[in-house]
Amino acid sequence: MGKRIKFTDRRICVGLSKTINIGNYESMKVHANAEANISDDADFDEACDALLDDCIRQVIKYEEEVLNG
């Protein structure tokens, strides 16, 4: 197995899109994006999961705003 690479000032970005049916044969795509700097000793998967949770909440918020006017 190879040597573990050390990273400094890692930046991760996660995005999520959803297409919403708004009726009358129309749809709207909403997208949320989250970015963060993480340290070398941070767990990458946990950081991605946290950012994805933020994106999911934001997309749900957008969807509710679009569908409820």
Domain residues of the chain, as ranges? 10-68
Quick one: pLDDT at residue 33? 96
Quick one: pLDDT at residue 18? 95
Decide if pLDDT at 4 tops 70: no
pLDDT in tens, 18-67: 999 988 999 999 999 999 999 888 888 999 999 999 999 999 999 999 88
Quick one: pLDDT at residue 60? 95
Quick one: pLDDT at residue 28? 92
Give all strands (DSSP E) within the chain, no chain letters: 10-23, 26-38
